[in-house]
Chains A and B, each alone.
Chain A
Amino acid sequence: MPMKPVLEISGVSKSFTMHLQGGVTLPVMVNVTFDVRAGECVVIVGPSGAGKSSVLKMIYGSYGCDSGRIVVCHRGEAEDLVQASPRRILALRRETIGYVSQFLRAVPRVPALDVVVEPLVARGASRDEARDKAAAMLTRLNVPQRLFGLPPSTFSGGEQQRVNIARGLLPDYALLLLDEPTASLDAKNRAVVVDLINARKRGGAAIIAIVHDEDVRDAIADRIVDAVHFSAAA
């Protein structure tokens, strides 16, 4: 397919300057370059500390970049996230880029169902319709119904992670960033998540994932990118 990639990263470098440690500069990544196309899942591999999660955070905008380009293409428009304004990044997060982090950053008092509903409502879905979809998704991920109305901060790690996955995989983002989505799940739930990821691929999503579990990796990966090639630590 001669389609343009959904995401094109080229020449991205990243370092941290630690002012509290005498201004020491820690290089994290040098010259990150790869792309992801619609319907494709790229899995980033590499030893811990290689900066795999940092790549996802740069794409999502949580980290800045020192140089390079991160071009996201959605609905025919290409946008360089390295240069984009905060407002533009927020708009892309709402419309285009989904992110399932390693840990759910739970907001106090917000029930699990509303955590999942939120991105759908932000994209303009009606709350009732979003609730139905969210409930179905949580049920599919084996989150017991009695937990729907409770804030996830009281849940086990595995339950929190499934709420997080439901929240990230429910909207049809064109680009999905998954950071260890199955790390704290049992085999049954891992299989559900694999099915969900593959369904999103078939739906045309471009996916970048960090997965340690080899079975999961084999089940979802179309391509492997080794962080060693751009890790400053390597």
Chain B
Amino acid sequence: MTDDAPLLSARGVTKWYGRRLGCRSVGFDLYPGEVVAIVGESGSGKSTLLRLLTRQADLDAGTVSYRMRDGSLRDLAALTDAERAVLRRTDWGFVHQDASFGLRMSVSAGGNIGERLMSAGARHYGDIRAEAGRWLARVEIDEARLDDTPDTFSGGMRQRLQIACSLVTGPRLIFMDEPTGGLDVSVQARILDLLRGLVVDLGLSALIVTHDLGVARLLSHRIMVMKAGEVIESGLTDRVLDDPREPYTQLLVSSILPA
């Protein structure tokens, strides 16, 4: 976080679904190496916000800007589809709660990891396979599973494979939507630990959408609490969790089950 220029910058991000509010006037900066958690209950607008930030949906108002590798800050709306596609498959990573959004379930683990490399122009089978094997090992999956398809993998392995697929091109920003949702506690701990290590080692920035304050505490530097489409409280993770100001945040914090 020595870099003082934000990597991602959101201002006044607003989205309506007809007369229903998706999210309103969300603004924040995400800096290099920083992990920000967006927390809130189901329906609070946190997943909508993630879709808007990654331009999977159009904004009704506001801007989202991104610092390109050449150092220029560009409004994502002003990028061409081709430029956005390159961002999505090289500079950004995605970990979805539902692995089938992020993986090709009938393509081998190696093929899944290799896809982003091949999209980026890699054309040496042996190199692609070796790189895929290295990433599989890095996310703690036995390299012997390289030719197996993710539909034969456990839930935790699928999440780890998604992580490998995302990181193989050396992205600077990773978006995660409930990355450990629906997993056993022990499996969850393993993935959180893996993510934590990778984020530090690779100097990644990350935006994590989660309803789980434990996940937020473990992974994030800062928290934004969303309620009914708006960010109602934000700040240092430990301050928001240990000294929550808003009634809703206090309710969320008091609802955590003791470990």
Residues of A within 8 A of B (CB): 16-20, 57, 61-64, 86-87, 89-91, 107-110, 121-122
- A61-B239 contact in complex given A87-B34, A108-B189, A109-B193, C-beta closer than 8 Å: yes
Smallest beta-carbon distance A18→chain B, Å:
7
- Tell whether, in the assembled complex, residue B218 and residue A64 are in contact, meaning their CB atoms are under 8 Å apart: no
B251 CB contacts on chain A under 8 angstroms: 19-20
- Tell whether, in the assembled complex, residue A90 and residue B236 are in contact, meaning their CB atoms are under 8 Å apart: yes
CA distance A110 to B190 in the complex (A): 10
- Tell whether, in the assembled complex, residue B243 and residue A90 are in contact, meaning their CB atoms are under 8 Å apart: no
Q: B25 in the interface, Cβ–Cβ < 8 Å?
A: no
B242 CB contacts on chain A under 8 angstroms: 57, 62-63
Number of A-B contacts (CB under 8 A): 56
Which residues between 28 and 55 of chain B lie within 8 Å of chain A, taking CB atoms?
31, 34
6 nearest CB pairs, A to B: A19-B247, A108-B189, A109-B193, A63-B243, A86-B236, A62-B238
Partner of B193, one of A87, A107, A122: A107
- Tell whether, in the assembled complex, residue A61 and residue B236 are in contact, meaning their CB atoms are under 8 Å apart: yes
A107 CB contacts on chain B under 8 angstroms: 193, 196, 218
- Tell whether, in the assembled complex, residue B34 and residue A63 are in contact, meaning their CB atoms are under 8 Å apart: no
Q: B152 in the interface, Cβ–Cβ < 8 Å?
A: no
Smallest beta-carbon distance A204→chain B, Å:
24
- Tell whether, in the assembled complex, residue A87 and residue B1 are in contact, meaning their CB atoms are under 8 Å apart: yes
Question: How many chain B residues touch A (Cβ–Cβ < 8 Å)?
Answer: 24
Smallest beta-carbon distance B231→chain A, Å:
14
- A109-B190 contact in complex given A86-B236, A90-B221, C-beta closer than 8 Å: yes
- Tell whether, in the assembled complex, residue A110 and residue B221 are in contact, meaning their CB atoms are under 8 Å apart: no
Smallest beta-carbon distance B41→chain A, Å:
16
Smallest beta-carbon distance B153→chain A, Å:
20
Q: B192 in the interface, Cβ–Cβ < 8 Å?
A: yes
Closest B residue to A105 by beta carbon equals B217
A64 CB contacts on chain B under 8 angstroms: 235, 239, 243, 245
CA distance A104 to B32 in the complex (A): 28
29 residue pairs of the A-B complex, CB under 8 angstroms, read A16-B243, A17-B245, A19-B247, A19-B250, A19-B251, A20-B247, A20-B250, A57-B242, A61-B238, A62-B238, A63-B239, A63-B242, A64-B239, A64-B245, A86-B236, A87-B31, A87-B34, A87-B221, A89-B236, A90-B221, A91-B1, A107-B196, A107-B218, A108-B190, A108-B192, A108-B193, A109-B193, A110-B196, A121-B200
Closest A residue to B221 by beta carbon equals A90
B238 CB contacts on chain A under 8 angstroms: 61-62
Smallest beta-carbon distance B216→chain A, Å:
13
A17 CB contacts on chain B under 8 angstroms: 245
Closest B residue to A63 by beta carbon equals B243
Secondary structure dominating the interface of B: helix
Smallest beta-carbon distance A110→chain B, Å:
6
- A62-B1 contact in complex given A86-B236, A89-B236, A109-B190, C-beta closer than 8 Å: no
B80 CB contacts on chain A under 8 angstroms: none
Smallest beta-carbon distance A102→chain B, Å:
13
B200 CB contacts on chain A under 8 angstroms: 121-122
Binary contact readout B200-230 vs A (1 if CB under 8 angstroms, 0 otherwise):
1000000000000000001001100000000
Q: B254 in the interface, Cβ–Cβ < 8 Å?
A: yes
CA distance A16 to B1 in the complex (A): 31
Closest B residue to A127 by beta carbon equals B201
Smallest beta-carbon distance B230→chain A, Å:
17
CA distance A107 to B193 in the complex (A): 8
CA distance A27 to B44 in the complex (A): 32
CA distance A5 to B151 in the complex (A): 62
Closest B residue to A124 by beta carbon equals B2
CA distance A110 to B235 in the complex (A): 26
Q: A90-B236, A108-B190 are in contact. List 15 more A-B contacts (CB 8 A).
A: A17-B245, A19-B246, A20-B250, A20-B254, A62-B239, A63-B243, A64-B235, A64-B245, A86-B222, A87-B1, A87-B34, A108-B192, A109-B193, A110-B196, A121-B200
- Tell whether, in the assembled complex, residue B247 and residue A109 are in contact, meaning their CB atoms are under 8 Å apart: no
Closest A residue to B29 by beta carbon equals A87
B239 CB contacts on chain A under 8 angstroms: 61-64, 86
